[in-house]
Amino acid sequence: MPDYSARWLAPRPVTVVSAAPLGQGASTAWAQGGIAAAVAEGDSAEAHAADTVAAGAGLVDESIALGLAREAGARVRDLLHYGVPFDRDLEGKLAVGREAAHSARRIVHVRGDMAGMAIMTALIEAVRGTPSIRVIEGYAAEALLMEDGAVGGLQLRHIGDDTARPVTIASRAVVLATGGIGHLYAVTTNPAEASGLGLAIAARAGAAIEDPEFVQFHPTAIMAGRDPAPLATEALRGEGATLINDRGERFMQALHPLAELAPRDIVARGVFAEIAAGRGVFLDATRALGAHFAEKFPTVHASCLAAGIDPATQPIPVAPAAHYHMGGISVDRHGRSSIEGLWAGGEVSCTGAHGANRLASNSLLEAVVYAARIAEDIAGCASATPARLSPASISQQNHPIPALLEARLRKTMTSHVGVIRDGDGLAEAVRAFADIERECSNVALRNMATTALLVAASAWSRHESRGAHYRTDWPLEKPALAQRTMTTLATAREIAASLTEDAAPRNPQPMIA
Ligand SMILES: Cc1cc2nc3c(=O)[nH]c(=O)nc-3n(C[C@H](O)[C@H](O)[C@H](O)COP(=O)(O)OP(=O)(O)OC[C@H]3O[C@@H](n4cnc5c(N)ncnc54)[C@H](O)[C@@H]3O)c2cc1C
């Protein structure tokens, strides 16, 4: 996403900062499905938008969904121009695949499951070949530097050297494109860099945050002792693989008429409930695929073998994993946040396109559409006066990250702010994250706690179940609550204070957009 915007802005000077070397530590490179785009004959942007709205459980902004769907074709053409080798059919037209909850075949892909890597490779090559783009790798952004209520720059710190002096960059236009929050959870499919730092940085500067409670969980991550956990793709269940518990029982048949092929959030809840009841869960492909496993699913096969499991003859141990954040920094249709000089794009942002549940392969689409819009917006309103930073705005203090506290935060997110939630567990999580947020002397962990607090406090405040947000104490969707959450860090802290002060909380609510 930053690579795309930076390339678009050339020849204007742009600095790209990345915590990991470009191409590493990014969910984009791991995307296996592709990009949703209504480019096939008989399909339409309207049909794509309707599917997006249906998936989002009443919270998708219909005009935003339609705008995304309409711009998809143009953005796919841009990527072709950058050299992304999307698969084509025998007539040379873009080949399109089908994914869950899409009413048409509309996923453009590269060599089957290589779309993300191909997009990253092409964009990185374009960025490295553009003289106006400076790339700083191995530095994490840790704070926005504010001047007179607007963005004046960014504070960075070298990865792996917590006590090093921070580095500052003065700039009147900052784009946060730091990805998701999966690594706030103990079990996730996301890279370690997806730890919610960008969202925290914006929130700490006062930005409005939207829908943070909505986190999508993938039902079948492979439990092979790896962090992040590799995916056992949904296509395995499409091929007939079944979910069983450690007694060999197929538990999904009792939960939904479609059993293992039920919607993603329902399967995730079924798997989570079995695990919470002390029964292990396995994906059994021994009968459905057997000896054909390696040839049909080479990536999953390799992940299993690395963990000492032969999926042709043995069931694969699985668990739900944090996969995608629907919420984020609230932005308008140009990617502008509520803070002057701050834009956000990709998974760290909340545009209103996903509502309470993301439709498969819409996230890469959203990232490229907003990358282009943000670049156009910045080009159109670039300030002539260079930013100046007063030394007072820079905080030097930092201490090494307390690893045990980080592990506790991630465990609390998985157990209390995960697939199945309830008021007591959420309140406990809110109090724990508020303590870390207030007292931790390591900036990265404090930022992680800031984002965790926003997610937990908004989940505590939403007294219903909707989309990916499920509460046992409020198990039904309430029509009166079909509104997006608009909140701030100040509100989240107020909720934490009320939960800490007394047993009967004052019940401060985030604003509803
Ligand atoms: C396994 C997997 C498969 C997926 N498959 C698909 C799919 O098929 N189709 C689809 O549409 N979506 C898919 N998704 C979701 C999609 O990949 C992501 O939502 C999307 O790639 C996010 O792009 P991004 O640019 O916002 O973030 P990323 O691609 O994650 O990039 C974020 C960048 O920010 C850097 N960073 C993070 N914090 C900081 C900081 N503080 N300072 C500096 N740099 C920082 C990171 O190092 C990284 O380079 C998948 C996700 C996963 C995990």
- pLDDT tens for 131-156 read 999 999 999 999 999 999 999 999 99
Closest by CA position to 467, among listed 52, 180, 187: 52
- 290-302 tens-digit pLDDT: 999 998 888 889 9
Q: Using the Cα atoms of residue 179, residue 184, residue 185 and residue 187 in order, give the sign of their dihedral.
A: positive
Predicted pLDDT at 510: 61
Atom nearest to 20 CA in ligand 1: 47
Predicted pLDDT at 503: 52
Is the pLDDT at 506 greater than 60? The verdict is: no
Residue 220 one-letter amino acid: T
Higher pLDDT, 9 or 471: 471
Is the pLDDT at 464 greater than 90? The verdict is: yes
Mutate to test the pocket of ligand 1, among 17, 48, 362, 363 (most ligand atoms within 8 A of CB): 363
Please provide the average confidence, as pLDDT, over all residues in the chain.
93
| 480 DSSP assignment | G
Q: Which two tokens stand for residue 448?
A: 């992680």
Atom nearest to 349 CA in ligand 1: 26
Atom nearest to 345 CA in ligand 1: 26
Q: Which residues contact 243 (CB under 8 A, 6 or more apart)?
A: 220, 237, 250, 251, 252, 260, 267, 270, 271, 281, 282, 283, 284, 318
Catalytic residue, candidates 172, 204, 237, 264: 264
Q: How far apart are CA 396 and CA 114, in angstroms?
A: 42
Integer angstrom CA distances of residue 169 from 15, 146, 191, 457? 9, 12, 26, 32
> Cβ-count burial of 311 within 10 angstroms (0-12 exposed, 13-18 middle, 19+ buried)?
buried
- 19-75 tens-digit pLDDT: 999 999 999 999 988 999 999 999 999 999 999 999 999 999 999 999 999 999 999
Is the pLDDT at 505 greater than 60? The verdict is: no
Q: Which residues contact 496 (CB under 8 A, 6 or more apart)?
A: 430, 431, 433, 434, 453, 457
Predicted pLDDT at 33: 83
Predicted pLDDT at 5: 79
Report the residue count for the chain: 513
Contacts 24+ apart (CB under 8 A), 145-150: 145/170, 145/389, 145/393, 145/394, 146/205, 146/339, 146/393, 147/387, 147/388, 147/389, 147/390, 147/393, 149/340, 150/339, 150/340, 150/341
* Cα 389 to ligand 1 centre (Å): 30
Strands, sheet with 35-36, edge to edge from the N-terminal-most edge strand: 35-36, 107-108, 96-97
Q: What is the dihedral of CA 176, 214, 325, 280, to 10 degrees?
A: 150
Q: How far apart are CA 418 and CA 187, in angstroms?
A: 10
Is the pLDDT at 80 greater than 80? The verdict is: yes
Q: Could you tell me where the DSSP H helices lie in 234-297?
A: 235-238, 264-276, 293-296
Is the pLDDT at 197 greater than 70? The verdict is: yes
Is the pLDDT at 162 greater than 90? The verdict is: no
Mean pLDDT of 272-286: 95
The reply to whether 264 belongs to the active site is: yes
**513 band by pLDDT with thresholds 50, 70 and 90:** very low
Residue 201 one-letter amino acid: I
| 399 DSSP assignment | -
Closest by CA position to 459, among listed 504, 412, 502: 412
Integer angstrom CA distances of residue 275 from 269, 384, 419, 472? 10, 58, 11, 16
Closest by CA position to 106, among listed 409, 359, 335: 359
* Cα 195 to ligand 1 centre (Å): 11
Q: Whose CA is nearest to atom 48 of ligand 1?
A: 26
Atom nearest to 363 CA in ligand 1: 11
Predicted pLDDT at 457: 98
Is the pLDDT at 383 greater than 70? The verdict is: no
Q: How far apart are CA 86 and CA 72, in angstroms?
A: 14
Q: Whose CA is nearest to atom 6 of ligand 1?
A: 31
- 402-452 tens-digit pLDDT: 899 999 999 999 999 999 999 999 999 999 999 999 999 999 999 999 999
Higher pLDDT, 394 or 215: 215
Mean pLDDT of 116-127: 95
Q: Which residues contact 161 (CB under 8 A, 6 or more apart)?
A: none
Contact 346, 371 (CB under 8 A): yes
Q: How far apart are CA 34 and CA 364, in angstroms?
A: 7
Q: Helix (H, G, I), strand (E, B), or coil: what is residue 356?
A: coil
Least confident of 187-201, 236-250, 325-339, 493-507: 493-507
Around ligand 1, the residues with Cβ closer than 6 Å are 1, 17-20, 25-28, 30-34, 116, 140-141, 177-180, 189-190, 193-194, 197-198, 231, 324, 346-348, 361-364, 367
Q: Which residues contact 483 (CB under 8 A, 6 or more apart)?
A: 59, 512, 513
- 324-373 tens-digit pLDDT: 999 999 999 999 999 999 999 999 999 999 999 999 899 999 999 999 99
Closest by CA position to 349, among listed 210, 189, 256, 481: 210
